[in-house]
Structure formats: structure tokens, C-alpha cells
Amino acid sequence: MPEKRYLLTPGPTPVPPAVLAALSEQVLHHRGPDFREIYARCLGRLAAVARTEGDVLLFTTPGTGALESAVANVLSPGDRAVVVSAGYFGERWAELVDAYGGDLVHVRYAWGETPEPADLRLALADAGGARAVFLTHSETSTGVVVDLPALAAPAREAGALVVVDAVSSLGAVPLETDEWGVDVVASGSQKALMAPPGLSLVAVSPAALKAARGSASPRYLLDWERTRRAQEKLDPPVTPAVSLVRALDVALGLILDEGLDAVFERHVRLGRACREGAKAMGLELFSPDEDRSAVVTAIRAPEPVDPAELLLVLRDRFGIQLVGGQGELKGRIFRIGHIGWFDVFDVATALAGVELVLAELGAEVDRGRAVSRALEVYEAPMGSFTGAGRREGSV
């Protein structure tokens, strides 16, 4: 393998130099004034990024810990829970509800489909009495980003709490927690938030906190009320990963300095560039060809290529790390991530490497068009772009 690495996956993502510099600072005591200042600022920045006036609870766990905390705090054993799934991470909600003894109502789509509000409305009416609806904002395994306010509406109408996996969407695509009436937004540090993995967070509404106080599910580390009370005093309930909190604080500062709207626009442009570049070399997209899908681009592996071989060659020869399909999509697709500390030349690197290796592996690809098309699309004024939705002949 060459020495240089290109981490072009939808998480963990590469982190900016200022974040690495913060990581390499000496460890601080978690109850001293140095850390308290960072902790307070980081929690405030998280609320700003999550667009909420409510509490954002921070945990030292992988993103899955935030998801698990939602299930453990919102549900008691036997509570009815509607899970909407259309991919690997949607299925994880179902696994978690099962693990905690919830009464699972599973609105299950084929992987890669986009969940529809009408289906959820029907399922909620059929089931009745759901305590919570578990949604996936960005299904990282397929590249689909759902229309979240449209999906949240029927859940709210049914009186259920709206719980959203935003692990790969928070900080990449718009998510108006308060305005859209989302009760729980669960996310992690290692994706669009541009920090290393190891921290997770939940933005929680007053209704969600009230439900948590009544939940009979066993939990300690992931208990919301204990965490909320401790955060209120800026006195962490247990020793947090102080170095990661410091790094996340710096990363959030960079995001807010760039401005959330600018960050979201950059992600739309990156998604356009990746999709148009892939199409320009004649590849077929698996993820939707629309601006909303700005997190990860999933591409069907062209005949006769095994995507596992493509990924291995890219990695071992060029140090380029992409990812394949998860679960039932293994062997059928490969994915290019473009969230967080990414610009168009990262996308260009991915496309250039893919183009070369696919050709070598015997696929028919149009050479020499992808990178220039990606840059052209990225640079075009936002409103002038008309490529989305046209899978053919877009160059």
C-alpha cells in the first residue's frame, strides 16, 4: 500500500488538521474549569447544529449508543414501536426494539426504496397505540435520504414520539429538529460532524424526556435523565472521552464558521458532482439521483466486476478507501461517501480511481469524462443545475 491514504467513506470520515491538533493536546480533568468551558461550548454548538432549543445529551459511545439510548429510554418492555426500514440501519432500529422487548411493528421496504408517509400513516392506524416511530433520516447503506418532515407528520398525528437516526445526516443535510417536531435526533461524531468516532448524541424534546422518566427498561450509562441532570451542572455523570469532546468542539466550530446553509449547499454540490461523474463514465446509480441524497452515492457494480475486487485494488494500490454494500447489498454495489471534511477533489480522486480500476477489471466505462464533469457540476451555480433525475445522457 502507498503511504498516502484517501478515506472516502461515509464514516468514519477524515478530520481537519485543527481537529487532529486538538486531539493531541494533553488530557484534561473532566471536572476542572478547562474542560467545563469546552464541554459547555460543545453542548451549545451541538444544539446549534441540531437546530434545537432543547437538550442535547452527549455520550461516549459509538453512534449506535445514541440509537440504543433512544430505545432504552423511550420504550418499556411491551410498548408498541413502529420501525420504518429500507436498509441496514433501519433494520438496526428493529434489532434494538427487539433487544429491549418492544412490541415491534415493522414497516419494511426493499433496501434502496424511499419510505412514503402514506404507508406509515396506514401502519400507524392499523397498529394503534404506538409509543414511538423510529425513522432513518439518511440510510447510509443505500444512499437514500428521506423527506423527514413529511414522514414525521403522520407519527405526530398518531401521538407517537418521532425518533430519528441522523447518524450520517446531521451536519450534512438540513434537519430542523424543533421546527419539524422531531422528538429525538440521534447522531455520532464521526460523519458529517468531522470528528473521530467515539462520541454520540441525542437531541431530546421535553416529551421524550418525560417518556424517559417513565421507562422501565434497564440502563445506566445511557440513562437520559441522569445525563441531563449532570450536564445541567456541567458535571459529567461519568468520565467522558475528554480528548474527543475537545476535538468535536473544534470541528463544530469549523462547521458553524462556514455556516450551516453553506455546509448544506457544499454537500448538495458534492453529491451532484459524484453522481454526475459516475453517470459520465456510464455507471448506473443505485442511490436516488436527487439533491437530497447528498450523504453517500451508491453505484451498481458494472459487469463483470466484483465490487469487492474493485475496493481491494483501490485500497492496496492507491490507498483509496471506499466501501461496498452492507447486508443483502454486498457484492452488488459500491459506495463513495462525501460528508464532512470533503471537497470536490476528494470526489474527483474517488471517480478517477474507480474509472481506472473498473476499466482494468474489464468493465466498459467511458474514460476521461468523469472528473471534468464532476468539477463542472460542482462549480455550476446552484439553481442552474438540471442534471438530477436524468440518469441518461446527462453529459
CB of 142 to a second copy, least distance (A): 18
CB of 163 to a second copy, least distance (A): 15
**Strand 132-136 vs strand 80-85: parallel, antiparallel, or unpaired?**
parallel
Count other Cβ atoms within 10 Å, centred on residue 343: 13
How far apart, in whole angstroms, are the C-alpha atoms of residue 168 and residue 139? 8
Q: Which three cell numbers stand for residue 258?
A: 462556514
Using rule CB under 8 A, residue 386 touches a second copy = no
DSSP string covering 208-252: HHHHHHH--S--STT-HHHHHHHHHTT--SS---HHHHHHHHHHH
Phi/psi for 162 (5° steps) reads -100, 115
Q: Which residues pair with 6 in a beta bridge?
A: 320
CA atoms within 13 A on the CB side of 280: 24
- Comparing CB distances to a second copy, the nearer of 64 and 349 is 64
CB of 220 to a second copy, least distance (A): 5
CB of 110 to a second copy, least distance (A): 25
Residue from the set 118, 238, 262, 382 that interacts with a second copy by CB under 8 A: 238
- Comparing CB distances to a second copy, the nearer of 227 and 297 is 227
Residue from the set 43, 49, 50, 65 that interacts with a second copy by CB under 8 A: 65
By CB under 8 A, what part of segment 92-111 binds a second copy?
A: 95-96, 99-101
How far apart, in whole angstroms, are the C-alpha atoms of residue 107 and residue 209? 25
Segment (H or E) for 81: strand 80-85
CB of 40 to a second copy, least distance (A): 17
CB of 132 to a second copy, least distance (A): 16
Q: Which residues pair with 200 in a beta bridge?
A: 59, 188
By CB under 8 A, what part of segment 187-216 binds a second copy?
A: 188, 190, 196-198
**Strand 132-136 vs strand 144-145: parallel, antiparallel, or unpaired?**
unpaired
Residue from the set 53, 128, 214, 220 that interacts with a second copy by CB under 8 A: 220
Using rule CB under 8 A, residue 297 touches a second copy = no
Residue from the set 55, 68, 165, 249 that interacts with a second copy by CB under 8 A: 68
Site string for a second copy, 309-328 (x = CB under 8 A): ------x-----x-x-----
Using rule CB under 8 A, residue 13 touches a second copy = yes
Using rule CB under 8 A, residue 21 touches a second copy = yes
Look at the block and give the residue holding cell 490507498: 319
CB of 342 to a second copy, least distance (A): 13
By CB under 8 A, what part of segment 245-284 binds a second copy?
A: none
- Comparing CB distances to a second copy, the nearer of 221 and 254 is 221
Using rule CB under 8 A, residue 60 touches a second copy = yes
The letter for the amino acid at 203 is: A
By CB under 8 A, what part of segment 121-180 binds a second copy?
A: none
- Comparing CB distances to a second copy, the nearer of 150 and 308 is 308
Among 22-30, 44-52, 119-127, 368-376, the segment contacting a second copy (CB under 8 A): 22-30
Residue from the set 2, 5, 306, 327 that interacts with a second copy by CB under 8 A: 5
CB of 352 to a second copy, least distance (A): 19
Indicate the DSSP class of residue 124.
H
Are the CB atoms for 163 and 74 separated by under 8 Å?
yes
Q: Which three cell numbers stand for residue 384?
A: 442552474
Q: For every residue of 254-277, which 3-state class applies, written as one string?
A: HHHHHCHHHHHHHHHHHHHHHHHH
Task: Give the relative orientation of helices 344-360 and 260-280 as an angle to the nearest 10 degrees.
Answer: 20
Residue from the set 241, 352, 354, 370 that interacts with a second copy by CB under 8 A: 241
Look at the block and give the residue holding cell 408517509: 117
Indicate the DSSP class of residue 357.
H
Mapping DSSP to helix (H, G, I), strand (E, B) and coil, where does residue 39 land?
helix
Using CB under 8 A, list all residues that contact a second copy: 1, 5, 7, 9, 11-15, 20-21, 23-34, 60-65, 68, 72, 77, 95-96, 99-101, 188, 190, 196-198, 217-221, 238-244, 315, 321, 323
